[in-house]
Amino acid sequence: MDLSAVRTFVVAADAGQFQEAAVALAITQQAVSKRIAALEDGLGVRLFTRTPRGARLTVDGQAFLPHARALLLAEERAAASVRPGSRPLRVDVIGRRTAAAGLLRDFHRTHPAVELDVVTLFHVDEAVDALRSGAIDATFRAVAAPGRRLPDDVEATPVLDEPLQLVTGPAHEFAGARVVAPAQLVGHRIWIPGAVPGTEWAAYYDELADTFELSIDAIGPDFGVESLLDTVADSPVVATLLSDRTPLVWPAGYDLRRIPLRDPSPVYPHFLLWHTANRHPGLAALRAHLTATRPQLVEGEAWKPTWARTAGRAGGTTG
């Protein structure tokens, strides 16, 4: 059904005259007559009775009018659903307890007028596909895995280098240390369940282990961070790595220790990815906020993987 003809019908019904409808629609009276005639032909009924004083709705026209209004309302709602700024900004954060989620919470606190729809997608390939299809507006990723590239229509910019900490139980050798260097961890077991091969975080820990000759493994099932902390708290030999921005609450009896890593400080690189054609005003506000608030680390103190040192542009590496 031609919605321009439906709109012409509604305006003519409200005006009561084709001439007034023509003025309201900025078209000729002849165009109004042609549109309504075509609509009547399609429906197989007469919608108006033409009189010297104007146009009067027939019984069929009166029956059709509320449905015509509903069609125009549906058209407006359909257009509004994809109009930039008229829908929430949809952002992927991988996990709701990650530093990326914290960055998004900070943005929401300073930009409460920007509606957010937060989603969690597991793999970066899934997230990039969602960006390109328009299912999401942005995603926080590590832009990992050597040898793989972002599509030309997806751009990435660094937003946070997240320092890691060593987390141990009270009986661990390093429990009393104020700081620990990565070289000191050689020969000690670092357990990171959930580091699934092929993911960006697994690529990060693989290069970290290779660089500093560390024993990082993901052996055993991943029952979540609470189960991980249960194991670390009771073990004199098992430690793990967590971000200094990861919000954690554990029972006081665990007596867990969070120990900064120094000389150098391994940092996990977070990037914001988006489709270059995306014009959502909330995305522009998010990018500007992240650029303005990005923490700066002193050059030379931090370690990050090689693929993160060259990423941060359209066509950068990903994983």
**Which neighbouring-strand residues pair with 155?**
274
Higher pLDDT among residues 143 and 191, named by residue: 191
The separation between CA 107 and the C-alpha centre of its own chain, rounded to angstroms, equals 13
pLDDT of 319 higher than 60: no
pTM exceeding the 0.85 threshold for the entire prediction = no
Q: What is the mean pLDDT of the chain?
A: 87
Q: For residue range 158-196, what is the model confidence (pLDDT) as tens digits?
A: 999 889 999 999 999 999 999 999 999 999 999 998 888
Structural domains for the chain? 3-82 (1.10.10.10), 89-310 (3.40.190.290)
From residue 236, alpha-carbon distances to 193, 224, 231, 232, 262 in Å are 18, 20, 10, 8, 22
* Helix, strand, coil share (%) of the chain residues, nearest 5: 40, 20, 40
Percent of the chain with pLDDT over 70: 92
**Which neighbouring-strand residues pair with 239?**
190
Give strand ranges (E) for the chain: 48-51, 54-57, 89-92, 116-119, 138-141, 154-168, 189-191, 215-217, 238-243, 257-260, 265-275, 302-303
The residues near 192 (Cβ < 8 Å, ≥ 6 apart) are 205, 216, 217, 218, 240, 241
**Of the ranges 215-224, 258-267, 305-314, which is most confident?**
258-267
pLDDT of 144 higher than 70: no
Q: What is the pLDDT of residue 316?
A: 43
What band does 10 get if pLDDT is binned at 50, 70 and 90?
Answer: very high
Q: What is the DSSP letter of 294?
A: -
Q: What is the pLDDT of residue 310?
A: 61
